[in-house]
Amino acid sequence: MSNDEFHVHGAHEHELEHASHGGGHDAHGMTNQIAMFTAIIATVGAIFGYMGGATQANAGLYKNNAAILKTEASNQWNYYQAKSSKQNLSELGKEISPPAKKDFYDEEIKRYKSEKAEIKKNAEALEAKSKEWDEKSDEEMHQHHRWAQATTALQISIALAAIALLTRKKWLQKGMMGMGALGLILGAAAALHY
C-alpha cells in the first residue's frame, strides 16, 4: 500500500489481527477447550449409549428365558396334578375293589408316588432356574438404568457446552464440566455394576 491511499479494515480483519496477537475474545482457548471436551464427551456418551442398549437387550433376553422356564415348570406342575388325580383314583379303587385287586392298586399308588416325586423335583429345578434368570434380568435392568443416567448426564453436558460457546459464560463451562464428570462417575458405576 502506498502512503497516499486510504485503507479501511473490516471487522473480521481486526478480530483476526487481535486474536493473532493473543488479545482475542478467545485468548484462553475457551472455544478449543469446549470443542475438545464436547468431542470426548460425545464419544464416551456413544459408548455409554451402546452399553445401555446392550444391557437392556440382555435384560429382555434373560426375562424371556425366565418366562420359558416358568412355563415349563407350570407344565410339570400340571403333570404332577394329573398324576395326583390318578393316584387318588387308584386309592379310591383300592377302597372299593375286591381284595384280589388291592395289590394291583397298591402297585399303582406306589408308581404314581414315585413318578410324582420325580416330576416335583423337575418342576422345582425349573422354577429355581427361572428365578435365576429373573434375577439376572433385574441386574441387567439396574445396570441399564445406570448407563442411561450416565448418557443423560453427558447429553446435558453437551447441551451446556453449546450454550457456553454461545454465551461465553464461565459458569456454564463449569456446569458443563460438572455434568460431564457426573456422567463419567455414573458410567463407572454402571461398568462396576453399582
Domain segments of the chain as ranges = 31-191
Q: Rounded to whole angstroms, what are the CA distances from 28 to 25, 34, 178, 181?
A: 8, 11, 20, 22
Query: Chain-wide mean pLDDT for the chain?
Result: 88
* Among the ranges given (9-23, 140-154, 161-175), the one the predictor scored with the smallest mean pLDDT: 9-23
pLDDT of 180 higher than 80: yes
pTM of the complete model: 0.70
Mean pLDDT to the nearest integer, 116-124: 96
Q: What local confidence, expressed as pLDDT, does residue 12 receive? A: 45
Instruction: Render pLDDT for 55-70 as a digit per residue (tens, 0 to 9).
Output: 999 999 999 999 999 9
* Among the ranges given (19-28, 72-81, 141-150, 169-178), the one the predictor scored with the smallest mean pLDDT: 19-28
Q: What local confidence, expressed as pLDDT, does residue 5 receive? A: 66
Q: What local confidence, expressed as pLDDT, does residue 112 receive? A: 95
Here the cell at position 97 is 375293589
Q: With beta carbons less than 8 A apart as the criterion, state whether 115 and 83 touch.
A: yes
State the Cα angle at 113 between 111 and 117, rounded to 5°. Answer: 115
Q: Rounded to whole angstroms, what are the CA distances from 95 to 12, 32, 59, 91, 194?
A: 108, 93, 53, 6, 62
**Position with higher pLDDT, 31 vs 155:** 155
pLDDT of 96 higher than 80: yes
